[in-house]
Chains A and B, each alone.
Chain A
């Protein structure tokens, strides 16, 4: 085994790239769940974001426009879910699953003419002398803008939920929609806004896959990333900071195990491949032992709301 072949700098840098799609999607889903809605359609929204973003970036040559369209596409898919579950009061679990299947099919249709094309990618942000620093230069100051955007979003969501009045209302709606309604808040409107935000984040995450991480369009390319994002929300017990930790842990172990294999580590490969999932389960168990109770899920999660009841 030649562990010296693994460069910690490159390892951490690629860890951040590997974690960003699930981080974005999980962060959006966390806000949705905080408002009391369970949207299992993350995978579908991600892949729609991936295809929208890719098509927009190829057609206009601008990756920025691609990311914008990906956020819009994800939000549109989410609003479809919102319309069905909030206005027509359909079952959230079933509608979310349907959204995933719908997204996978529709994205395959839309992306047919785009297989094998390459879109312009986002360059790394050049931070002058900062990027040239040893180690930290590459790890902290050598990424593309979306990595920084995702980190900023984590901070923004955390501050929003903790310190703002709007954040308080959102949490109130998720904990007890009847009480929030009695106080005169528009439960449906708040939830629709949260759903749209969640969709936009999932869309961005998908576009990060198709524009930066892979980078190309292939059918079914999310390959389960949306489900991992859903798991990370639970893992994080609905807290923004822990979403970040969860996503980086999962992404980190994925990248680490590939690097270990390449370096010829004498660890059973099956174990290495299962490691990200094993660690996720382990941490889930540890967190629930420490919490000592059922969990921190919003009280009205996945419960339908109708003003007349």
Chain B
């Protein structure tokens, strides 16, 4: 068969390319994305970080990326290919790449790997990095609790992983703190990016009386669905997720939680250039500038806006931690005592709802 001969030829050609040795110029920086760079959310924001690296280092770096890589067996292939292509450092930017990243890292000890939002560092050349999104969600939850009139706030959740559960808990805690009647409706989409499904989820919530929608999925589709509802006489508010989603200002989008990866990426690439790169687990938050609250629009009453801004300042200065006791778990058992602050380890493995949230977390 001609085709197989051709295939074999291409394969052997690919394998024959020597793996780039250290110390070459320019440094090759690779990115593996879970969505398309035009998703307007999570992947878009990582790609902004990549562009910032290019701008900062100029000719000293070369960046490559692959977008829309499924979380699963194919991710391992994509990461391997990037390592074979001579990348010196590879950022894998989604939770589901955790095991593939570690598996590939074992085979390429000279390549540095950085896995976003994971906790497994099985080899010395694997670091993890994440951001304290729950800090931002505390601010959004406060605004949501004040704005809701139906006392039903909706949360479009992606996958039942600690990061998402932290977000749900933090949002609910702070919404119910300012509005004890608030009820949290969680809809699991089981996807990071599927605009049609996200829009459908938003519509299902709006149909059932939810008037504030927070999302942990990456497209702007829920914002568009809310905008449509508002044009038909509804009163629905949303928050930008991962990126500002400024095009939906001033309503339905009234504020946003923005992931700002540029400082981290520049820092780590610099470490590779300097030869000082070492394994670490980074978890920056608002204070480090990795979690940013986008403009709070005038649709939010001035006193609520002031309260939110005060909270931002307190979190930044370290005066306030969103998970400060007393907090009970969903089953009523005590979790944090009065004044007690949650430990990072507990947050990183968070697998329970706090008291007051209905429903169960899927496993």
Contact = CB atoms under 8 A, between A and B. Distances in A.
A and B bound? Answer: yes
Interface of A: 5-7, 10-11, 14, 18, 21, 108, 111-112, 115-118, 121, 209, 213-216, 218-225, 254-255, 258-259, 261-264, 266, 268-270, 273
Given A10-B207, A219-B36, A220-B39, A121 B228 contact: yes
A306 B203 CA distance: 51
A221 B359 contact: no
A187 to B, nearest CB: 26
Contacts of A225: 196
A218 B39 contact: yes
Nearest to B228: A215
Interface string B195-218: 111011101110111100000000
A214 B219 CA distance: 10
B194 A223 contact: yes
B280 interface: no
Contacts of A261: 186-188, 204
Contact of B209 (A5, A14, A222): A5
B196 A209 contact: yes
Nearest to B361: A269
Given A14-B207, A220-B68, A255 B200 contact: yes
A38 B106 CA distance: 42
A10 B228 CA distance: 15
Contact of A213 (B40, B154, B199): B199
B37 A219 contact: yes
B193 interface: yes
A121 B36 CA distance: 25
B40 A115 contact: yes
Given A223-B197, A262-B205, A264-B359, 18 more contacts: A6-B208, A14-B200, A115-B38, A116-B245, A121-B228, A214-B224, A215-B224, A216-B220, A218-B40, A219-B39, A221-B195, A223-B191, A261-B186, A261-B187, A262-B187, A264-B358, A269-B188, A270-B362
A121 B231 CA distance: 11
Q: 6 tightest CB-CB pairs across the interface, nearest first?
A: A219-B38, A219-B36, A116-B247, A269-B362, A258-B204, A223-B194
Nearest to B359: A264
A117 B199 CA distance: 16
A118 B200 CA distance: 18
Contacts of B225: 214
B57 interface: no
A237 B141 CA distance: 50
Contacts of A214: 195-196, 199, 221, 224-225
20 contacts: A6-B207, A18-B200, A116-B245, A209-B195, A213-B196, A213-B200, A214-B224, A215-B224, A218-B219, A219-B36, A219-B38, A220-B38, A223-B191, A223-B194, A254-B197, A258-B200, A258-B201, A259-B204, A262-B210, A269-B190
Interface of B: 35-40, 68, 154, 185-191, 193-197, 199-201, 203-205, 207-210, 219-221, 224-225, 227-228, 245-247, 358-360, 362
A14 B40 CA distance: 25
Contacts of B224: 118, 214-216
A18 B362 contact: no
B44 to A, nearest CB: 9
> Which of A213, A220, A225 counts the most B-chain CB atoms under 10 A from its CB?
A220
B337 to A, nearest CB: 30
A118 B225 CA distance: 11
Contacts of B210: 262
Contacts of B191: 223
A162 B195 CA distance: 37
A189 B236 CA distance: 52
A223 B195 contact: yes
Contacts of B362: 268-270
A220 to B, nearest CB: 4
Nearest to B358: A264
Contacts of B36: 108, 218-220
Contacts of B35: 220
B123 to A, nearest CB: 31
A138 B360 CA distance: 34
A92 to B, nearest CB: 15
Given A213-B196, A259-B204, A218 B38 contact: yes
Contacts of B360: 266
A133 to B, nearest CB: 19
A116 B187 contact: no
Contacts of B204: 14, 255, 258-259, 261-262
Contacts of B200: 14, 18, 213, 254-255, 258
A218 B40 CA distance: 8
B10 to A, nearest CB: 15
B137 to A, nearest CB: 20
Contacts of A11: 207
A262 B154 contact: yes
Contact of B193 (A10, A121, A216, A223): A223
Given A121-B228, A225-B196, A262 B208 contact: yes
A225 B197 CA distance: 11
Contacts of A5: 208-209
A216 B185 contact: no
A214 B197 CA distance: 9
A218 B188 contact: no
Contacts of B245: 116
A266 B209 CA distance: 19
A14 B203 contact: yes
A49 to B, nearest CB: 14
A188 to B, nearest CB: 25
